Structure 1
Amino acid sequence: MLIEDIEYVIFRHPDLAAVRAFMVDYGLLDLQQGGDMLYLRSYGDAPFSYVSTKGETAFVGFGFRVSSREALDRLAARFGSAVTECPHPGGGVYTAGTDPDGRRLEFVFGAERLPRVPSGGAPIVWNDAHARNRLGHFQRPVYGPSHIQRLGHVAVFSPTPQEMISWYCETLGMKPSELIYQGDEKNVVAAFMHLGKGAEWTDHHTLAIVGGKAAGLDHASFECRDIDDLGVGHMVMGDKGYKRRWGIGRHFHGSQIFDYWTDPAGFHMEHYVDGDVVNGDSPVLSYPFGRETLLQWGPAFPGL
């Protein structure tokens, strides 16, 4: 196993104040800002979950937490890059490279974890057709931004999706959870990829690769505390006047409940909860591309 988890996304924005305000209302927390650099953290223990430098609008890439120093050295050898002190909050050591589409990939080992920030609330107790479990107590979520627990995954566009899927499998040890094809089943146009962690359970997808005319970002996805946290966060983003892209609904691939918003530079950010988990024994599923596999319920995808 090379990679423990995805940890952060890397952007450039021309207006750091505007993107900071958006991401804090979205549910991240201030960590460090100075000069032309902005770091934001989640409520979880990652040293940070989001970094942007000031400059021309761009999605730069993303960073992973590596499972061991040996794994870091193996990755450095694969990319032909040095292992150096990590310049980001949390420190540790890191190496970096690029994928065939030019996205920057950073791999960090030994960064100091942060104390978790209390997220409020308590596990939801449901009254439904199966049972009445919440007896004499009321469900009263507090109004305010979502409480982002962690970066969950990124979804990227690639003009050569099959080659990119193979590259991430061969280079980073990722495995497909589900493949999407168009026409012939061999004509794979997208994949939802999980980390190769053997018998250990992991997110249904840490990376989604989707065929597109050019390389780019479809969205970055952050996990909320629970469904009420996602729903109240939806209200906050609407009340603040931000641009809603899509949601609330439940995806087909990965099953997570989703809600998408668009930041001031045009990048899409997803809130999600209740995603699937898989491991090395989970079968690889394959489905044709179509509207019916975009979601199980919710509003129609914009443009379809």
Structure 2
Amino acid sequence: MSESRVHGAFAPDAATAHQNLHSEAGALRGEHSGRSRNPVIKVADLAWLEFEKPDLDRAEVFARDFGFGVAARTERELWLRGTFAGSPCMVIRRGRASRFIGPAFRAAEPADLDRLARVTGAAAREADVPGGGRTVDLLDPSGFRVRVVHCGEELAELPGQQPQLLNFGTGHPRVNTPQRPPREPSRIQRLGHVVLETNVFARALDWYLDTLGMIVSDFLFLDGQRERGPTMAFIRCDQGTVPVDHHTLAMHLGPACGYVHSAYQVTDLDALAAGGEYLNERGYQRSWGIGRHIQGSQIFDYWRDPDRFMLEHFADGDLFASDLAPGWAPMSTSGLAQWGPPATRDFLGASPSPSRVREVVRTLRGDNELDPARLLGLLKATNS
């Protein structure tokens, strides 16, 4: 494998970087390129996620136990943050039922909002965010409200957890000092990504690439159905030569259009594991973990909040620059992790409820991308 020097270190050539790493191979001739030729804008990052819940007090208790800080709290809104400077991670507004509203992405420049508004016909307006700013609100093909924002003021950095000093092989920086990571909440540093399910996968994928200028890191396809195109994409922001998270958004084909999980970066494995023990002692439900993913390479630990939303602590994720082409790999449960316990039925959503069955039946009869062959392929992937 040839090598080139990137950011002061040797890195694999863009053409061969996927080989033997996190996906089986690159694209075949004629397959999706994973990017748009002329996107409207290129968003810089995921800003925050928006939810509604009826009980903000209960939501705040879990948020603090999970490791969020509180950026602002009113009778009707709860803004949560990490320790890094920047925008909040999440806003929870009081509502009649618990539901996910949609993601907000950060515009690279204020002028991007004007261009986006002009091309889409949406209006740019003042954003209801601590510190102020402007937003353009859109609807993606799945029906999620997608905000593109430029914040007036950034939140200041807060003190964070320090990474543990580790001894490796012949390197022993820690001498005469025992290792005692405190059992406390895994202090969130920042929002990493959100995963969504959609029954209009191809349309939604192209919308994010064409409208927001995002690019694909990895495609997954159903075994025996590769010629029909991918059924999952891990999508990152395009900041040129600046390395960014392997995925800021991931989407997969399914019977519904809904939230799957969101992920929040913590300092290291010790912070993640000790924070998990803290959550377990307080009676919260672990959905799956601890393990290390394949696509993205993150060390992960998944939890359910009291409203059954899934949230992930992660550490040590991959960073890709824009010159890396998408990888292609078959979709399977065994392909979700390099190591760790088997994926649980809760994580996979493999315990169908009557409402889920009705959802499948309704989708199969509707105008979308799920048909019986696709459904059987997804079920096969869940058990492979």
Provide TM-score, normalisation by structure 2.
0.76
Match in the other structure for 1:247: 289
User: Of residues 329, 336, 340 in structure 2, which corresponds to 1:294?
Assistant: 336
Q: Which has the higher helix share?
A: 2
Superposition deviation, residue 78 in structure 1: 3.3
- 1:103 corresponds in structure 2 to 144
Q: Tell me by how many angstroms 1:124 deviates.
A: 3.1
- Give the match for residue 6 of structure 1: 46
Aligned residue pair count: 303
User: How much does 1:54 deviate?
Assistant: 1.4
Contact 1:47/1:90 (CA < 8 Å) preserved in 2? no
The one-character-per-residue Cα deviations of 1:46-74 (angstroms, maximum 9, x if unpaired) are: 33211111112210001111110121112
Higher strand fraction (1 or 2): 1
More displaced stretch, 129-138 vs 55-64 = 129-138
* 1:111-150 to 2 correspondences below 5 Å: 111-121=152-162, 123-129=163-169, 131-150=171-190
Using the TM superposition, give the Cα deviation of residue 168 of structure 1 relative to its aligned residue in structure 2, in angstroms. 0.9
Any idea what the Cα deviations from partners look like across 1:90-109, whole Å, max 9, x if unmatched? 21122111111111111111
Structure 1 length as normaliser, TM-score?
Answer: 0.95
Matching residue's letter, 1:227: L
Offset, 1:130 = 5.9
> Which position in structure 1 is the counterpart of 2:310?
268
Q: Aligned match of 2:277 in 217, 221, 235?
A: 235
Q: Which has the larger radius of gyration?
A: 2
* 1:61 pairs with 2:102: yes
* Contact 1:47-1:111 within 8 A present in 2 as well: no
Quick one: distance in 1 between partners of 2:146 and 2:275?
30
Identity of aligned residues (%): 36
Contact 2:48 2:87 in 1 (8 A): no
User: For 2:317 and 2:285, how far apart are their aligned partners in 1?
Assistant: 24
Q: Do 1:203 and 1:278's aligned partners in 2 also have CA atoms closer than 8 Å?
A: yes
Cα distance in 2, alignment partners of residues 6 and 284 from structure 1: 20
1:188 alignment partner, SS class: coil
**Match for residue 249 of structure 2 among 198, 201, 207:** 207
Q: Residue 296 of structure 1: SS of its match in structure 2?
A: strand
User: Secondary structure, in 3 states, of the residue corresponding to 1:261?
Assistant: strand
- Structure 1, 100-109 or 213-222: larger mean CA deviation: 100-109
- Give the secondary structure class of the aligned counterpart of 2:273: helix
Tell me, what secondary structure is at the counterpart of 1:162? helix
2:166 and 2:281 map into 1 onto residues whose CA distance is: 27
Aligned partners of 2:87 and 2:151 also within 8 Å? no
Query: For residues 116 and 170 of structure 2, what CA distance do their matches in structure 1 show?
Result: 48
Task: Give the distance between the partners of 1:83 and 1:141, measured in 2 at CA.
Answer: 47
SS of residue paired to 1:136: coil
Specify every segment of 5 or more residues in structure 2 that has no aligned partner in the other structure, as ranges. 1-40, 346-382
Using the alignment, how far apart are the partners of 1:130 and 1:221 within structure 2?
34
C-alpha contact 1:26 1:146 (8 A) present in aligned 2? yes
Work out which of the residue numbers 151, 176, 190 in structure 1 matches 2:191.
151
Query: What is the SS of the residue equivalent to 1:3?
Result: coil
Counterparts of 1:143 and 1:168 in 2: how far apart (Å)? 40
Q: Flag structure 1 segments of 5+ consecutive residues without an equivalent.
A: none
Aligned partners of 1:161, 1:208: CA distance in 2, in Å? 11
1:28 matched to 2:41? no
2:117 is matched with 76
Q: For 1:64 and 1:243, how far apart are their aligned partners in 2?
A: 29
Aligned to 2:210: 170
